[in-house]
């Protein structure tokens, strides 16, 4: 315990070409943390500007550490490398671009007396995403919703501004994929008690944004990995794959027996009846496998089989609707649009099964 009874704090700041933001960030943090024993750990991914030089020049006046990475990139891995070097009892992760207000840091640290993790939130009461464009708000909202099951008690699951007790997060247990390391801490760490502190996201004044299609793709990969690690969703996915094989096998067998489509029931739409039949068989198979494997030990709700059938048919329509919306309105090409639609609806289907068809028994 140090200044005024406050514990020591390590602030981890990943950087890449942020030379104009370093000095104002350090000065603002210093003014905000006068009552704390703190260190600022900059993890720089081989910036092409003078970021490292500015940090080194300030290290004579402020408690700064610089980790320079020459052949390694990525915000998530930068945070884990910074965490390994941290000595503080508490850790704060924030961006270098001043979009995370340094003045809010003490507000993140105070609730750590009763919590393992405190998230700076744009979406809880009192918080705001600031002056974002509509398209940016839509992207953030969709990404945030897709991660809801991973951290249901947190409203801003995309936050990169958060604080935690250092002992609650093991850097060697993290899988630093993508840019949303905060989501992994929320979903997979030893942090049990969590809360949020509101803040207003500040528009970038210097430098350029790092958001890109590559980052979005990395987020989707990270999301899949977190779901696989956290839930029975692995079994649910395997069951879905088995159902797909059954569906196609039965459909192929049924259609092989139709010699002359024009003379059969439904005319040129002869393929619809076999598809309905094979789909119903696959749905039945999926329901049985999920009952005896995925949700083994869980209580099935009343009329669980009928509920599963309704869910399967409704989400099929939802899947097709998402695909049409992404292609027609979002102007995405069909293949990535189909992949995204399938991912979104797969999560929805899993959540419905987990809440509406089966419920976890109390221990």
Closest CA relative to residue 156, chosen from 141, 176, 135: 141
Evaluate if residue 110 carries a pLDDT over 50. yes
Tokens coding 178:
């993508």
Task: Tell me the pLDDT tens digit for each residue of 144-169.
Answer: 888 888 888 899 998 989 999 998 88
Q: What is the pLDDT of residue 260?
A: 47
- Look at residues 90, 244, 65 and name the one whose alpha carbon lies nearest to residue 167: 90
Mean pLDDT, residues 276-287: 82
Q: What pLDDT sits at residue 229?
A: 65
Calpha distance 236→349 (Å, rounded):
10
Q: Check residue 263 and give its pLDDT.
A: 45
Cβ-contact 336, 346 below 8 angstroms: no
Question: For the chain, what is the mean pLDDT?
Answer: 81
pLDDT at 2 over 60: no
Annotated domain spans of the chain: 3-210, 233-359
- Predicted confidence (pLDDT) per residue in 319-333, tens digit: 667 767 777 787 776
Q: Is residue 363 predicted with pLDDT exceeding 70?
A: no
> How confident is the model over 207-240, as pLDDT tens digits?
555 555 677 777 887 787 777 666 667 788 888 8
CA distance to 49, 96, 172, 295, per residue, from 44 (Å): 11, 10, 20, 45
pLDDT single digits (tens) 189-209: 677 789 999 999 887 666 555
- Which neighbouring-strand residues pair with 196? 119
Domain 3-210: give its CATH superfamily: Spore Coat Polysaccharide Biosynthesis Protein SpsA; Chain A (3.90.550.10)
Q: Is 124 exposed, middle or buried (0-12, 13-18, 19+ CB in 10 A)?
A: middle
Vertex 216, ends 235 and 354: CA angle to 5°?
A: 25
Q: Please state, in angstroms and rounded to a whole number, the distance separating the CA atoms of residues 172 and 185.
A: 12
Q: Is the dihedral of CA 163, 169, 170, 176 positive or negative?
A: negative
Stretch 296-302: mean pLDDT, rounded? 80
Q: Which residue has the higher pLDDT, 74 or 117?
A: 117
Give the residue with greater pLDDT, 254 vs 239. 239
Using the structure block, give the residue that is written with the tokens 């992404």.
326
């Amino acid at each position: 315990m140090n200044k005024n009874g406050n514990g020591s704090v390590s602030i981890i700041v990943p950087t890449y070409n942020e030379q104009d933001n370093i000095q104002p960030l350090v000065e603002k943090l210093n003014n905000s943390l006068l009552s704390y024993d703190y260190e600022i750990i900059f993890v720089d991914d081989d910036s092409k500007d003078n970021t490292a030089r500015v940090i080194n020049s300030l290290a004579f006046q402020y408690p700064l550490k610089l980790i320079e990475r020459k052949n390694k990139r990525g915000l998530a891995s930068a945070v884990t490398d910074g965490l390994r070097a941290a000595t503080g009892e508490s850790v704060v992760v924030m961006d270098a671009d001043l979009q995370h207000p340094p003045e809010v840091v003490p507000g993140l640290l105070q609730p750590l007396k009763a919590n393992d993790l405190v998230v700076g939130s744009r979406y809880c009461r009192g918080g705001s995403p600031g002056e974002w464009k509509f398209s940016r708000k839509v992207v953030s909202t969709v990404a945030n919703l897709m991660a809801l099951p991973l951290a249901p008690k947190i409203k801003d699951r995309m936050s990169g501004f958060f604080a935690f007790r250092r002992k609650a997060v093991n850097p060697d247990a993290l899988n630093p994929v993508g840019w949303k390391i905060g989501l992994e801490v929320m979903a997979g760490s030893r942090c049990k008690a969590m809360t949020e502190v509101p803040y207003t996201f500040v528009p970038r004044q210097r430098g350029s944004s790092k958001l890109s299609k590559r980052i979005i793709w990395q987020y989707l990969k990270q999301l899949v990995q977190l779901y696989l690690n956290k839930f029975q969703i692995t079994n649910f996915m395997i069951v879905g794959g088995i159902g797909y094989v059954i569906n196609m096998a039965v459909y192929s067998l049924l259609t092989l027996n139709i010699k002359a489509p024009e003379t059969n029931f439904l005319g040129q739409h002869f393929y619809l009846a076999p598809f309905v039949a094979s789909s119903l068989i696959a749905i039945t198979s999926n329901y049985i496998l999920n009952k005896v494997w995925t949700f083994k030990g869980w209580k099935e709700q009343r009329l669980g089989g009928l509920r599963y059938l309704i869910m399967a048919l409704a989400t099929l329509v939802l899947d097709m609707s998402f695909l049409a919306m992404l292609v027609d309105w979002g102007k995405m090409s069909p293949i990535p649009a189909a992949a995204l639609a399938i991912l979104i609806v797969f999560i929805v289907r899993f959540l419905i099964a987990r809440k509406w068809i089966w419920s976890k028994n109390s221990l």
